[in-house]
Every structure is written in C-alpha cells, then in structure tokens.
Amino acid sequence: MDIKKITEESGRYQMDTYTRQPLVLRKGRGVRVWSGDDREFLDFVGGIAVNVLGHCHPKVVVAVQKQVQRLIHVSNLYYTEAQVKLARLLIENSFAGRAFFCNSGAEANEAAIKLARKYAKEHSGPEKYRIITAINSFHGRTFGALSATGQPKFHAGFEPLLDGFIYVPYDDAGALREAVEHEKGKLCAVMLEPIQGEGGVRVPGQDYLKQVRDICGSAGALLIFDEVQTGIGRTGELFAYKHWGVKPDIMTLAKGLGGGMPIGAVLAREDVAEAFTPGSHASTFGGGPVVCAAGVAVLQVLLEDNHYMLGHAKRMGTYFREKLDALKVRFPDLIKDIRGMGLLIGMELSKPCAAIVAGCMEKGLLVNCTSGNVLRFLPPLIVQDADIDIAVNILDEVLAGEAR
C-alpha cells in the first residue's frame, strides 16, 4: 500500500470537506484497526458511533455476503424479505407502528421533518409547520436537517436556511414552554436528541424529557427524538428513550443500525405514519436488500441471549466511567467534566483537545474531539475491560504530558 500516494491523491481528487488524521486504514477486526504501515490501533471512535458490533462482525459479514450473492438492489416498487424483516424487528422492539428506510441520519431527519409537517397540516391546518429544536443540537447537513441544527457554525455560508425552526436552550423546560406559548397555533413538533452528541455529549436532567413530553401533549405538537447517535444500543438500551420511559411520536435512526453499512430509518406511531402515502416520500436506495440484511444481523445480535450485549454495554460504560473519573481526580485542572451514558461518553477539557487526539493516535488509540474541547468516546459495544484499561493508560500518559 502506497500511503503517500493515497494521501496525495486524496488531496488532489477529493473535495476538502474533512479534517483528516494523517492515517490510512486498511483493515479492522473487533475493536481494532490496522494502518497501511501495519500499526495497530484501538478504535474508540467506532466510525462515529456506527460500528456498534466492532469492525467486520462475523454475523454482519456473513449476512452481507449471502445477500450480495442473491440480490443487491431492486426498486422499492417491489417487496424484499430483508426490508420487511428489519422493519418488523424495529417495530416489535420499539414504541412505533411503522418504519421508513433511507440511507443516512440526515435523510432520516429530513423525512421526520416532512412527516411532522404533513401530519400537522392534515390534522390541524396549513399554519402549523414550525419546529422547535435545541441550541447545540446536530441533526445533519442537508438543508432541512441543517436548518434544524442549533449551531450557527454549521449554518455559515449556506444561508438562507429553511424557514420554520426555533432554537431553545437544551435541558431547559421553562425555555421550551415559553417558546411553545409564543408559537401557539403554528407549532407542529419539537425535535430533540435524547443526549446531545455533536453538541458535546450533554445528558439532560432526569425529568427534562418527561417535561418535554407533557409540553408537547398540551400543545398538540409531535415529539421527535433524533436517535441517530444514541440508538441501537449505544447507551445500554436499544433506544435511549427507554432510559427515561418517554415515548416519542417519531424517532430517527442511522449510524449503528447497519453495523457499518449505510442505512437510516424513521419510526413513527401508526396514526402519524399514515400521513405518508404513496408518492409523498421515497428513496431510491433506501432500505436496499444488502443494508437491511446487515441491519437484521445487528439487531439479532443485540437482542439475542436476553439482550446480553445491551447489558454488556451498560457494564462496560460503568467501568469506563469509573476509570475516567479516576483520571479526573489525577488531572483536576485539565479535566472539567466526565458525562455520558453507556458507551457514549464525553470528557470535557479546559483546553482544546486536538493535540490530545493526536497524542493518543501516536500511542495507538483513536479518539474523537467534538465541540472543540470535548473528547468523545464511542467504542464498539463489544469492547472488553482489558481494552478499556489500555485506552485509559494511553490517555493517562497523554494527559500527563499535557498537564506539565
């Protein structure tokens, strides 16, 4: 593998939309990846919450191989077994009555926005189209999802955005009530991440989502949960909303659903889903046989043995938090906060974390930085305590160097 050629040709032929690490990856197994020059790394980025079962999980690989040999793509003008199986697994294990498949989290959020507006217009009139989202939220980079995203840095250069989005502080029920009152007669939905991911791994107070549910009910507004990052076992439950016992009306999924294959989904209550009729929304590649076969394999692994893997994710998340809390005691001036749920964990630092990301990579650990100063840890759910010990030891070394 000519590493220099790959990086140079990437710079020549690809648009410059990513701040890439100086690393060419060629292989992955479990929680580890290998570079073109045969260096080994613990992967605690996990494809940004995608590789919930690690790299190349045998059951996902076999499911994809078998499906590729039979049928790769057909139009959604026809039925496929894999798509129906995946829909059934999602519906039987969630609040929802119907599913729609697409290709990504942004597409799922676009579909959710359309569904909420169409439902509101059919049931309450054309003036109900506004959607409240949260400051520091992230819902995607297509225009509807971008407009829903409450972070101006992502908006810059793309204005004007789609009309009809109002941003309120996250985890502030009072601010939400005030905004709902102001938008009375115009509001169709509230759209939130149960835990803000790109916004710095921010977990709400225990009662917040329950209050949001009540506010939406009183206002006649739909509640949309963006579980693109928190769903599919990431928090130790199949879906994060289960931690609070708060059911949304619409939920979006992607990332971990395909175990590495590109798929998104929208789940909705039966009566809400009925707003989508033939021709009102569609996706050429959405819910293709190969990605749905992968999704079925992922869910089967997460649900087998009385949900063993979900329990394991909880246990490993608790173990990891304990280790990180010990680092916080060691480096009180550098580590401001440790927060998260399950295996979605953020470490807020008192300084930018780019150098720490680079230092960890140099020592064989891949981690991610979000919001400028928050290290985000998203290891596969199959991670073991021995892997966590190695990761924490590397973090300890790197942080010690930064604290000098």
Identify the active-site residue in 118, 128, 255, 314: 255
Alpha carbon distance 149, 157 (integer Å): 14
Active site residue 226: yes
How many Å apart are CA 53 and CA 382, to the nearest integer?
A: 6
Is the Cα dihedral 168, 169, 174, 176 positive or negative?
A: positive
Contact call for residues 239 and 99 (beta carbons, < 8 A): no
**Greatest Cα-to-Cα distance within the chain, rounded to the nearest angstrom:** 63
Is 138 among the catalytic positions?
Answer: yes
Report DSSP state, residue 8.
H
Mark whether 100 is an active-site residue. Answer: no
- Classify 356 in phi/psi space as left (phi over 0), alpha (psi -120 to 50) or beta: alpha
**Which of 44, 101, 138, 276 is an active site residue?**
138
Under 8 Å between Cβ of 92 and 265: no
Choose the catalytic residue: 43, 226, 249, 387: 226
Q: How far apart are CA 352 and CA 19, in angstroms?
A: 15
How many alpha carbons lie under 13 Å from residue 138 in its C-beta half-sphere?
17
Active site residues: 138, 226, 255
